[in-house]
Structure 1
Amino acid sequence: MDIRFLTTFIEVANTRHFGKAAENLYLTQSAVSARIKLLEEYFHSTLFIRQRNSIQLTQSGEKLLPYAQQLCSTLNEAKQELQIQSSEYVVCGATQLASELILPSTLKALHADFPDWSVKAEVLTLDSLSRQLHERVTDLAFSTEPLKSEEVNSQILLEKPLALYRVGDAQAEVSASDFVAIDFGSKARDILLTLYPQLRDAKLRTNSLTLALNNLYAEGGIAVLPEDAFVHLPAQTPITKIQSLENISLKVYLHTMKQVRRVGLQGLIDGISSINPA
């Protein structure tokens, strides 16, 4: 059985509310409900009485709660103890765009400046990134969007202006049939649509800058890109700036928990901050 089912059960028992438990655990309410259902199937017993404005523990739920709390506490203590004894590793998580923009240089710097550390890196959705950071599964989190949490320190590692470009033969018309839409966030999209409402549609939508650039190089087209995007295209590729997007930039954030419990991790975080100045 997944230990996270028990932590979800404890959170629902504490909040007496599926929605609040989901918010505290950085999960959807349906995910919380699914975990509780699986837990009830595992124990062959109903754990909560679900009423319209009240969620109460059943007698079985009351009996399970102290065991769940004790088990979770013991496992967390064991995890921390093992991490203290084997602290020379770091787990990096990043959203798709952030992984393409910052992870290669960050990993290179980590290997050069912290050669004794083993590194694990993976690409995650923003929700998974936030959840794993709060669960301390991930040590360093990188994203192009801020995380709204009082428990997290966030800093900008990279910031680049955005502009609308045409790759390939210059044409006068800005058309949706040539548009490659990269997900730079709702603010960039709203400003672009104010300037070019015809770009509400696109021939390709993606959260990958690499995929977008490959498509633009192969087929030509228009896209919102960082202002140094030409360096990522093969030499001699024709690229023309159509218009800068005022007051909009692409940002990459580094997120870490405010309370760092791992031995040596704070020094590594400080090192990453200096390696990639904003």
Structure 2
Amino acid sequence: MDIRFLTTFIEVANTRHFGKAAENLYLTQSAVSARIKLLEEYFHTTLFIRQRNSIQLTQSGEKLLPFAKQLCSTLNEAKQELQIQSSEYVVCGATQLASELALPSTLKVLHGEFPDWSVKAEVLTLDSVSRQLHERVIDLAFSTELLKSEEVTSTVLIEKPLALYRIGTLKDEVSADDFVAIDWGSKARDVLLTLYPQLRDAKLRTNSLNLALNNLVAEGGIAVLPEDVVEQLPAAKVTKLKALGNMSAKVYLHTMKQVRRVGLQQLITGVSSFYTA
């Protein structure tokens, strides 16, 4: 059985709400419902009484809950013990944009200041970053969006003002035919569309800054970019069209509030200090 089914069951039992449980676990409500259904099929019983405005544990659910909590706790403790006994290493997980903006400098800090630590770095979805951080599969999580969890400490490592730029041939009009849409989040998108409602469409949509820059250099176009990133385009003609008010690209470092691994807190402090110095 996948341990995530039990963690989902515990979250639904705590919130008594499938939607809230899905939000806390960064899952869709349908995914939460599917996990509970599979768990009920596994135990051949009903775990929740589903009513319009209330979800209650059945007697079977009440009996399962302490065992689920104990099993999850035991497996997490076992994972930590195995990590402590193994060679020193740190696992970094980042969403696509965060990996491009923060991981190169972070890896330089880790290799330079903590040479005895081996580093593993992965690019993940936001849901996977949140889940694996809570399961302590990854030690340092990076994203351009804030994680909603009382168990997590989040620090802004990078904040870069955003503006709309044209790369290549000058044109008078701002057209969707030239627009490369980079996923900077819903707030930045709302500000942009207030200024340029015609940019609801785009010739390219991507969550990769590097891919967007390569396309802009090759074909030209317009895009929302961090103000310092245009310095990476010395060969292309760059025109700043409009600053997006107080909108900025942020990269957050997320770590669990309770750090259990020996030496990990010192490493976290070292990474944070590099960006805040």
Query: TM-score, normalization: structure 1?
Result: 0.89
Q: Which residue of 2 aligns with 1:73?
A: 73
Q: What is the SS of the residue equivalent to 2:276?
A: coil
Q: Which amino acid aligns with 1:242?
A: L
Q: CA distance change for structure 1 residues 224 and 262 in 2, over 3 Å: closer, same or farther? A: same
Correspondences of 1:226-241 after superposition (within 5 Å):
226-233=226-233, 235-241=234-240
| Local SS of the residue matching 1:74 | helix
Map of 1:202 onto structure 2? 202
State the Cα distance separating 1:60 from its structure 2 match. 4.1
Counterpart of 1:106 in structure 2 is 106
Alignment match, 2:273: 274
Distance 1:270 1:177, change over 3 A: same
For 1:182, the aligned partner's letter is I
- What are the Cα deviations for residues 224-254 of structure 1, in whole angstroms up to 9, with x where unaligned? 1111223333x42222222222322222111
Please give the per-residue CA displacement for 1:153-211, whole angstroms capped at 9, x wherever unaligned: 22221122222211111122221111111111222222222322222221111111111
What pairs with 1:1-278 in structure 2 (closer than 5 Å)? Answer: 1-86=1-86, 88-233=88-233, 235-277=234-276
CA distance in 2, matches of 1:88, 1:270: 17
TM-score normalised by length of structure 2:
0.89
How far apart, in 1, do the equivalents of 2:220 and 2:176 lie? 13
Q: Is the 8 A contact 1:155 1:255 kept in 2?
A: yes
CA RMSD of aligned residues (A): 2.3
The code of the aligned residue for 2:134 comes to H
Kept in 1, the 8 Å contact 2:24–2:148? The answer is no
How far off its partner does 1:272 sit?
A: 0.3
How many residues end up aligned between the 2 structures? 277
Whichever residue aligns with residue 224 of structure 2, its letter is: V
- Give the letter aligned to residue 70 of structure 1: Q
Q: 1:47 to 1:271 in 2, by over 3 A?
A: same
2:253 aligned counterpart, secondary structure: strand
Say if 1:87 and 1:264, in contact at 8 Å, map to a contact too: no
> 1 CA distance for matches of 2:261 and 2:87?
7
Question: Could you tell me how far 1:126 is from its partner in structure 2?
Answer: 2.1
Would the aligned equivalents of 1:27 and 1:131 in 2 still touch at CA under 8 Å? no
Shift of 1:7: 2.4
> Within 2, Cα distance between the matches of 1:198 and 1:208?
22
Say which is worse superposed, 52-61 or 74-83, in terms of deviation: 52-61
CA–CA separation in structure 2 for the residues paired with 1:249 and 1:18:
33
Give 1:270 shift.
0.6
Per-residue Cα deviation, 1:59-105 (whole angstroms, up to 9, x for no partner): 54444444433322322222222233237221211111111111112
Instruction: Rate the CA distance shift 1:41–1:107 in 2: closer, same or farther, 3 A.
Output: same
Q: Identify unmatched segments of 5+ residues in structure 1.
A: none
CA contact (8 A) 1:5 1:35 kept: yes
Partner secondary structure for residue 275 of structure 1: helix
**Matched residue type, 1:265:** L
CA distance in 2, matches of 1:62, 1:191: 48
1:146 is paired with a residue whose SS is: coil
Q: Which amino acid aligns with 1:218?
A: A
Say which is worse superposed, 126-135 or 176-185, in terms of deviation: 126-135
Q: In 2, distance between residues paired with 1:266 and 1:170? A: 50
Q: 1:271 to 1:200 in 2, by over 3 A?
A: same
Contact 1:106 1:276 in 2 (8 A): no
SS of 1:147's equivalent in the other structure is coil
Cα distance in structure 1, aligned partners of 2:226 and 2:48: 51
Distance 1:41 1:169 in 2: 61
Shift of residue 267, structure 1, vs aligned partner: 0.2
Amino acid at match of 1:103: L
Contact 1:151 1:258 in 2 (8 A): yes
